[in-house]
A and B are shown apart, each in its own frame.
Chain A
C-alpha cells in the first residue's frame, strides 16, 4: 500500500472506462480520471490520511486502491476499497481494508469507522460483513445517490475478539 504516481493514471483509466466502475461513480472519461487520481493524492495533503494504491508485492502490478476517505459531503470518515478488473476474488480487498482499519484505529486514533457501499454492490457488502461490519442505515449523496452505511467494529471491539 503506497502513494500515487503519474503512471497509476493508466490503470485507473482502464478501470473507470469499464462497467464495474459504476459502483464508485464511473464510468469516467480520461479527463475525469486524471482529476480523480489527483484528488486521491490531494486528500492526503488536506486531511493527513487517504487512500493508498495497492501494489502486488510479487509482480508489481497495481490492483486497485484502498484506505481512508473523508471528502467534504461525506457523513463521516470511511474505509473504502476499489479493485481493478481481474484483481477480485483473491482476498486483496479484505487484506488491505483490514490493514487500513488497523491504521485508522492504531495510528490515527479513530474511535469508529464506516464503509459506504452502493445498494447493488453485493461483493463489497459481503466483504464488509466478513470484516465484522453491520448495516447501519443509508446515506444519500448528492451525486452518487443512496448508499448503504456499514458500521465497522470499533477499536475496542477489534482488540477483544
Chain B
C-alpha cells in the first residue's frame, strides 16, 4: 500500500509527461498534415493593362500621284518636296518615338503588375503564416485545456474511488452499516407504499430493476428492467411505483451516498408478507 501511495505521488508527474508526449506527437502529426496541404501553388501570370493599345492606321500611298508629281518637278517643287520629306521624316521619328514610349509604358505596366502579384503572393504567404501561428496557439491552448480536464477528471476518479474505498472501509469497520441500512429501509418503505400488486396476477412473480440516483434522490434516467414478471401490466405498474417514489431518501454524506447511488430493487409483489 505504501509503495502504491509513493507511486501515486510520482504518477501525477508521469501522467503529465505521458500526456505531453502524446500531445507533442499529435502536434507533429498536425504540422505534417498542414505541410501536406501547403504544397506550392501553381500561379499563372496575367498581364494587366491600363487601356488597350491603339492601332496605328497607315495611309495608302498611290504610285500614280507620285509619278504625276515627278513629271511636274520645278525648283520650288523640289524645295517643297524636300521640306515635305523632312516633315515626313520628323513624323516618322515622332511615330517611332511614340511607339517606343508606348512599349516602355507597357513594360512599365507589366512590371507593375508583376510587382503587384508578388506583393499579393507575399501577403498571402504572410496571412497563411499568421493562420498557422494562430492554429498553433489554439492547439497549445487546447492542449492546456485537455491537460487541465484530464487532471480534473483524474482527480475526480481518484476522489470517487477514495470516497468509495473509505466508505467500504468504514462499512467494513461497522461504523456506517447502521446508517446505510436505515436509508435502505427508508427507500424500501417509500417504494412499497406505491407498489400496486393488483396488476401482477396471483402467481409468485419476481421482478428486478436497477436504478441510478442523483444526490437529490431523483432518478438518473429510467429504471432498468433486469428481470421481467412476464406480465407487462405488472412490469409497468412497478416501474410506475419507482417513478412515483421520487425523490427517494438519500444520505447527504457523500461517502454513504456513493453506496446508494446505484441500487438493485427486487420485487415480489405477491409474496406473503404476514
Pairing of A with B: no
Residues of chain A touching chain B, judged by Cβ–Cβ distance below 8 Å, are none
